[in-house]
């Protein structure tokens, strides 16, 4: 049994902070480790990307690649995990397995732009799955088990 007033940290677990600019005996006296004069020896200075007026390196280097602002991000689910949840009784294989059912079971945390099913793992349940996207291997694996995997692609926006 231990008492609250007898609790203490392990030896060496805590270290007292270095008190700078407290005399020559402290080892960090006089200028407090900031050197002599200059902008960085003063208080209130934050120079993150500043290079003394020179063009900063992040602006000098060429940029590569492309970021698609319209890209869709899908929540990814493997068939093996769906089978595991069916075996555990968290998903009912007799009813249609929709995106809402996958979220309710706890297999998928959030919907994002939809759910995409991949073929990793064994799938033996005869189940009908309806999701936003699926790989060819996943569709074949579900059909081989006697089920059906339908994808409901999001409606395309037509520019006028």
Exposed e or buried b per residue across 76-96, where buried means at least 16 C-beta atoms within 10 angstroms of its C-beta: ebbbebbbebbeeeebebeee
With a CB cutoff of 8 Å and minimum separation 6, the contacts of 98 are 130, 131
The residue written with tokens 């068939």 in the block is 79
148 vs 133, 137, 138, 151, 156, CA distance in Å?
Answer: 13, 13, 10, 10, 24
Contact 77, 112 (CB under 8 A): no
Least confident of 26-35, 41-50, 79-88, 103-112: 41-50
pLDDT score, position 159: 60
Q: What is the pLDDT of residues 11-64, one digit of tens each?
A: 999 999 999 999 999 889 999 999 999 888 988 887 888 887 899 999 999 999
Full-model pTM: 0.57
Domains and CATH numbers, the chain: 75-151 (3.100.10.10)
Region label for 110, one of left (φ > 0), alpha (ψ between -120 and 50) or beta (otherwise): beta
Q: What is the pLDDT of residues 114-142, one digit of tens each?
A: 999 999 999 999 999 999 999 999 999 99
Contact 119, 158 (CB under 8 A): no
For residue 98, the tally of other CB atoms under 10 A from its CB is 15
**DSSP character at residue 74:** B
Q: Angle at CA 123, nearest 5°, toward 118 and 129?
A: 65
For residue 156, the tally of other CB atoms under 10 A from its CB is 5
């Amino acid at each position: 049994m231990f008492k609250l007033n007898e609790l203490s940290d392990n030896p060496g677990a805590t270290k007292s902070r270095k008190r700078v600019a407290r005399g020559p005996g402290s080892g960090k006296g006089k200028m407090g480790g900031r050197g002599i004069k200059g902008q960085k020896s003063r208080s209130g200075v934050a120079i993150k990307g500043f290079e003394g007026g020179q063009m900063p390196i992040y602006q000098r280097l060429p940029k590569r690649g492309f970021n698609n602002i319209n890209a869709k991000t899908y929540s990814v689910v493997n068939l093996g995990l769906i089978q595991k949840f069916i075996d555990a009784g968290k998903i009912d294989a007799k009813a249609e397995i929709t995106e809402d059912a996958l979220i309710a079971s706890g297999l998928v945390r959030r919907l994002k732009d939809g759910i995409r099913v991949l073929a990793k793992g064994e799938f033996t349940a005869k189940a009908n799955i309806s999701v936003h996207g699926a790989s060819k291997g996943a569709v074949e694996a579900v059909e081989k088990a006697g089920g059906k995997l339908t994808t409901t692609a999001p409606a395309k926006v037509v520019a006028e």
